[in-house]
A and B are shown apart, each in its own frame.
Chain A
Amino acid sequence: DIVMTQTPLSSPVTLGQPASISCRSSQSLVHSDGNTYLTWLHQRPGQPPRLLIYKISNRFSGVPDRFSGSGAGTDFTLKISRVEAEDVGIYYCMQTTQFPPTFGQGTRVEIK
């Protein structure tokens, strides 16, 4: 199985400041169809996860443009340009390039 490793595991941030989360996969996530199926999810306390970004950098419907994804191959990054209070929670990267889908451990974002 592909192992997804996120850093940091915890990120205290100041409101209005940027935040960045890294995700590294143990194998390349480039699929034979040419796509890279790297997804970012956000989970607020007591809620189900919600989709933020798919295929590295595509924001899902309704996701604010302060969220952006980048990367290639085995190294990926989620950036929040200016953190807002509603951004707290746990962020997960996941891959669906190879069976079975696997998740990173999660990164907790909290306000300083």
Chain B
Amino acid sequence: QVQLVQSGAEVKKPGASVKISCKASGYTFSSYYMHWVRQAPGQGLEWMGRINPSGGSTRYAQKFQGRVTMTRDTSTSTVYMELGSLRFEDTAVYYCARDHRFDYWGQGTLVTVSS
């Protein structure tokens, strides 16, 4: 069965970077794009960007351009999302989600930005 397992919660200081992983299993990793979506406490869903695991190409939401980097490791079927220059308002749960249908989601990774 398809599973997306994300790395654990992180606490970071303002200005730092965070790198979250999403390990895929149960399907052909390179066949489906992977998206990253975040959800601030009590708020809705916000799309951040996506990566094509096949060639590594990426597209990011304009809001995060210059601050976000998405990469993948095909040998471990893992995608990564790194967000830099963290601000208090980046405190959120970050999700990976598969395919243009967003058909499978990771369990979420809480990132807390606190001084």
Contacts and interface: CB of A to CB of B under 8 A. Distances in A.
User: Are these two chains actual partners, yes or no?
Assistant: yes
A103 B44 contact: yes
Interface string B82-115: 0000000000000101001111111110000000
Interface residues of B, number: 19
A99 B61 CA distance: 9
A48 B44 contact: no
A51 B105 CA distance: 9
B72 interface: no
Contacts, number: 47
A70 interface: no
A50 interface: yes
Contact of A101 (B35, B62, B106): B35
B95 A48 contact: yes
Nearest to A41: B102
Contacts of B107: 48
B67 interface: no
Q: Interface on chain A toward B: helix, strand, loop, or mixed SS?
A: loop
B46 A50 contact: no
Contacts of B108: 48
Given A94-B45, A100-B47, A103-B45, A48 B101 contact: no
Contacts of A36: none
Interface string A15-26: 000000000000
Given A48-B105, A96-B102, 13 more contacts: A48-B95, A49-B102, A49-B105, A50-B105, A51-B101, A51-B102, A54-B103, A60-B103, A92-B44, A101-B47, A102-B47, A103-B44, A103-B45
Interface of B: 35, 44-47, 59, 61-62, 95, 97, 100-108
Interface of A: 37, 39, 41, 48-51, 54, 60, 92, 94, 96, 99-106
25 contacts: A37-B100, A39-B102, A41-B45, A48-B105, A48-B108, A49-B105, A50-B105, A51-B101, A51-B102, A51-B103, A51-B104, A54-B101, A60-B101, A60-B103, A92-B44, A94-B45, A94-B102, A96-B101, A100-B47, A100-B59, A101-B35, A101-B47, A102-B47, A103-B44, A106-B45
